[in-house]
Structure formats: C-alpha cells, structure tokens
Amino acid sequence: MATTTGRPPLWRDVRVLAWTFQIAVVLVVVAIVFWLLDNLRVNSQRLNIPTGFGHLDQPSSFPIPGSDFRQTQPVRDALVEGFQNTLRLAITGIALATVAGVLIGIARLSQNFIVRSAARAYVEFVRNVPLFCLLFVMYGAVVLNAFPRVADSWDVGPVAIVNVRGASTFWFEGGNWKFVVALLSAGIVAFLVARWRSRIADRTGTPGRTGLWALPTAAVVLVVVWIVLGLGATAPEIDGARVTGGITMTPEYFAALAALVIYTSSHVAEIVRGSIQAVPRGQGEAANALALSGFQRLWHVVLPQAMRIGVPPIGNQYLNLAKNSSLAAAISFPELTKVTQLTVANRSPAVPSFALLLGIYLVLSLVISLFVNLANRRLAIVER
C-alpha cells in the first residue's frame, strides 16, 4: 500500500484524547475546590468570621486539666500542649502495643494448648469489637467504676499505686535533659559493647553473648551517670486524699492508653502470627537440625525473616494508632483533637482550626510512614 499514514484526525488521536480527558478531570477538580473555597469566603464574610490563622495569638480562655496551662496563654500554646499529649499517647501506645502484640502473636503459635487458646480468645474477641467501645469500657466501667478510691488504693509499694484518680509509678527527679543524657549514654555504651562482642564472635566463632555483656554494662553506666549528674528518684506515696511523688497518669490518659494498646496489640498479634507462619517451615526445621534452642530458633532464625514480611502492615497499625488517638477526645483527654474542639468552642474560627488539625495529623502520619519505610528498607533482602 502506498498510502502515507499521516497523523490521525484530532478526535481519533489517542494522545490528544488522553490529554483532553486529563485536563478536563483536573479542571473539574480545581473547579470544585475553588467553588468550596469561594463558598467558605462568602459565608465567612457574611458571618464575619476570620479565615486566617490570627486566632492562634488570641488568649485561649480555657484551662487544660492536668497541666500548668493557664487561660491567659494564647491558643497556640494550647495546641502545643495538646500535640504533646497526642505524641505521648501515640509513642507510648506504639511501644506497648508492639511488645504486647509480638508476645501475643507468638503465644498464638505456642505448643501449649492453654497459652494458645487464651491468646486466640483474646485476639478473636478484641479484634471484632469497636475501639470506641473498648475506650468507654476502660474509662467508664474500669477506671471510674472499678478502680478503688484513693484511701483504699491498690498499693504495690514504689512500683505502682492505682486508684480512681489515676495510676502512679516511680520516676526520675532533677531535670529532663539530665535524664535524656543518662539514657543516651547508657544506650550508646550498650550499642558499642554489643558491636564489639559481635565483631569478636564474627572473628573467632565463639558465642558473642552480646546481651549478657551489653545490658549489665549499660546498667552500670546508667547508675554512674545518674549519680554523677545528681539525678534522684521519687516514688509515689498516698498523702491523705491524693498521691504525691512519682509520675501519675491521669484516669483519661490511662484509659485511652489501655484501650489503644489492647486494640492495636490484637491487630499486631494477628500480623505477627501471619508473618511467622509465612516463614518457610524448612527454616525452623533447619534451626532444629542445628540444635538451636527454642529461643535461639525464634530469635535468630524465624523472627528476623518474619519481620521482613510483617513490618509494612505493622507500620500501618502504628499509623492507625496515631490517628485513633484522636478518639481520646471523647473521654475528654486533652489531646490535639479535644484541644481544637475547646478552642472552637471558645470563639476560634472552626474551618482554620480544623484545617490546622488535619494538617498536623497528616504530617504526623507522613513522619511515621517515613520511619516505617526506613525500617522496611533496612530489613529488605539485599539483592544483586
């Protein structure tokens, strides 16, 4: 055929069609966003409500229970306070949920019938009820209704005092930064010792016993630095109608933390179980053939491979936990969402306040997923 095939007509050219379609979609999206923003502008002008962030410098005119925050401080400080509470809840929750979840996940695969069944009952129950119910149960039915009054607290000496006003335990005394320095130096020494021992193990083939070396050394370093910096320790004591000393979790914080940990740990446990089962059976059998003990088999052979499978979904659970910490607003724990609700109730404009709130949660989520991705990359198999 001698006909030269030039470009097809415009209405049949795939590339033209594709771009027209895309531009149309983008235009529609942009138009909707503009329409919404324009409505916001018009409505705000009509009601004489500001759309900027000027309210952040106004006095907040509400107190935050359980902190030194005063009513005269600006809204900005209130939000910072709320964000700190959210972070406290999220970080502690993630740490505890990981530990509990891994233990329960392993328990689900135990050879012991009772342990296996108890773990299964826990997971099957908790995973299938709403977190919100657990939260109200922990707060209303457990903390407020079942915990004793201060006079008859459950008192485990310096370790814990639990009553309806909260749960207290021992804590350090004498400056936050000193505490951080002490912890950091102990951690660094432990890391160095562990690396030194594993190098020796690599070189000589003798067992490294990294844990046996690193942990006592770290403990000694911690004690020494503690004494050198002049840090003290305080234990909780019942002093009439209240508990003094130590560190006290408010009932709201305790209930929110417990509910988040119980709920998330059941999900983490399921992921851990699935990941361990996804490790080929031959790996465990090979460990048995090498005469490794049960703990060695789990710690050196099975868990490292299971982690590779389990880290991305567990990271999702961390994200969920951080976002679910907003539910604590419903039991009046002054985290970010509750504080924002309070500011809106105290004449801060609703839309900018909520936009800021959403933005902060978005950044928090991105930061967490960044950490998870880093962990994931470190664990991934290095291929050619």
Residue 333: what are its φ and ψ, rounded to 5°? -75, 125
Applying the rule CB under 8 A, the residues between 326 and 355 that interact with other proteins are: 326-327, 329-330, 337, 341, 344, 350-351, 354
Alpha helices, DSSP H only, in the chain?
A: 14-47, 75-108, 113-126, 131-136, 145-146, 176-204, 210-229, 251-278, 281-289, 294-296, 303-324, 336-345, 350-379
293 forms part of the interface with other proteins (CB under 8 A): no
Among 8, 13, 99, 145, binds other proteins (CB under 8 A): 145
Angle, nearest 10°, between helix axes 75-108 and 113-126?
Answer: 140
Q: How far is the CB of 125 from other proteins (least distance, A)?
A: 7
Q: Least CB distance from residue 213 to other proteins, whole Å?
A: 25
| Shortest reach from residue 326's CB to other proteins, in Å | 4
Residue 29 binds other proteins (CB under 8 A): yes
Residue 155, strand partner residues: 161
By CB under 8 A, tell whether 14 contacts other proteins. Answer: no
Q: Tell me the number of residues near other proteins by CB under 8 A.
A: 55
Interface region with other proteins, contact rule CB under 8 A, candidates 156-164, 174-182, 279-287, 323-331: 323-331
Among 26, 188, 223, 370, binds other proteins (CB under 8 A): 26
128 is an interface residue for other proteins by CB under 8 A: yes
- In the set 365, 375, 376, 379, which binds other proteins (CB under 8 A)? 365
List the end-to-end C-alpha distance of the chain, in Å, as a whole number.
49
| One of 5, 48, 111, 176 touching other proteins (CB under 8 A) | 111
- Work out whether 113 is an interface residue with other proteins (CB under 8 A): yes
Q: Considering beta carbons, is residue 218 or 261 the nearer one to other proteins?
A: 261
Nearer to other proteins, 177 or 295 (CB): 295
DSSP string of 214-229? HHHHHHHHHHHHHHHH
In angstroms, the CA 60 to CA 345 distance is 10
Q: Does 266 bind other proteins (CB under 8 A)?
A: no
Told to check if 45 binds other proteins by CB under 8 A, we report no
Minimum separation from the CB atom of position 350 to other proteins (A): 4
CA–CA separation, 262 and 96 (whole Å): 9
If the CB atoms of residues 190 and 327 are measured against other proteins, the closer one turns out to be 327
Q: Which one, 41 or 195, has the nearer CB to other proteins?
A: 41
Instruction: Tell the burial category of 231 from Cβ atoms under 10 Å away from its Cβ (0-12, 13-18, 19+).
Output: middle
Q: Based on the number of CB atoms within 10 Å of its own CB, is 75 exposed (0-12), middle (13-18) or buried (19 or more)? A: buried
Are 143 and 251 spatial neighbours (Cβ–Cβ below 8 Å)?
yes
Tokens 């102990």 — which residue?
186
Closer to other proteins by Cβ: residue 229 or 355: 355
In the complex with other proteins, the residue whose CB is nearer, 22 or 244, is 22
* 278 touching other proteins, by CB under 8 A: no
Phi, psi of 39 (to 5 degrees): -60, -40
Assess 160 for contact with other proteins (CB under 8 A).
Answer: no
**Joined tokens for residue 269:** 């446990």
CA distance 226 to 40: 56
Residues 152, 161 contacting (CB under 8 angstroms): no
Place of tokens 């067992």: 207
Which CB sits closer to other proteins, 169 or 365?
A: 365
Please count the other Cβ atoms lying within 10 Å of the Cβ belonging to residue 252. 23
Q: Which amino acid is at 210?
A: T
Residues in contact with other proteins by the rule CB under 8 A = 18, 21-23, 25-26, 29, 36, 39-40, 42-44, 46, 111-115, 118, 124-125, 127-134, 136-137, 140-141, 145-146, 319, 323-324, 326-327, 329-330, 337, 341, 344, 350-351, 354, 357-358, 361-362, 365-366
